[in-house]
Amino acid sequence: MNSDVENLIALLGVGEPHAAGQVTDWGQVEARLGHALPSDYQALIGGLGGGGRVDGYLWLLEPDCPNPHYDLVTTDGDQIEILAELWEAGEERPTELVNSGAQVFPWAVTDNGECLYWFAQPGVSPGDWTVAVNEARGSEWEFFTSGCVEFLNGILSGTLGSELLWSKFPTDPHEFRRSATFL
């Protein structure tokens, strides 16, 4: 596990990384998605023992979550379809995604409806994908130059800000609850 993941786990107040339990078959997950996943995300999900809710607002998606609203594979397919329909209906597509061959893949959602994506550009490895945030029920986007773990570290530590995420996020102290505890 890399130090950025360890720092994020500590920042979330989880303490020690989650003990090894059920191991995710990332190759199988990527095959179902039809695209690769960044290794920092995989390490984060493993270290946390799954996805969950951060500070009562942001849901870190996980593969095979019993709640389909927070399942990475289900949300990936749904969000890609929703965006395609919105853009076909005339909603403005961000310039970063026009004629560039770039794609977005969701990795987190919020209680307000914002969606956080990996911004995947052609020829860029998953480890170098950056973060894009789409506002809830609107066409505004923000693009960041960091991966998902670096982004969360920045947002939670206050060194990075977002105009689209809820103004009361993050909270102090931080709280992380695994999705499995909500079932």
DSSP secondary structure letter of residue 18: P
22 domain-assigned? yes
Average predicted confidence (pLDDT) for the chain: 92
Q: Which residue has the tokens 């890609």?
A: 80
Structural domain including 39 reads: 3-177
CB 174 within 8 A of CB 13: yes
Count: domains in the chain:
1
Q: Flag whether 11 is in a domain.
A: yes
Whether residue 182 lies inside any domain: the answer is no
Q: Band the pLDDT of 41: cuts 50, 70, 90.
A: very high
User: Do the Cβ atoms of 170 and 156 come closer than 8 Å?
Assistant: yes
Q: Is residue 114 part of a domain?
A: yes
The CA-atom distances, in angstroms, between 109 and each of 2, 55, 102, 147 are: 24, 13, 20, 16
Lowest mean pLDDT among 13-27, 70-84, 136-150: 13-27
Q: Is 36 within a domain?
A: yes
Strands (E), the chain: 52-54, 58-60, 103-110, 115-120, 130-134, 141-143, 176-178
Query: Is 183 domain-assigned?
Result: no
- On the question of a cis peptide bond just before residue 94, with omega within 30 degrees of 0, the verdict is no
- Could you report how far apart the first and last alpha carbons of the chain are, in Å? 28
Spatial CA neighbour of 49 closest among 76, 74, 14, 75: 14
Q: Which pTM value belongs to this model?
A: 0.94
Confidence at residue 21, expressed as pLDDT on a 0 to 100 scale = 53
Structure confidence at residue 59 (pLDDT) = 97
The pLDDT tens digits for 92-133 are: 999 999 888 999 999 999 999 999 999 999 999 999 999 999
- CATH number, residue 72: 3.40.1580
Q: What angle do CA 174, 113, 126 make, to 5 degrees?
A: 75
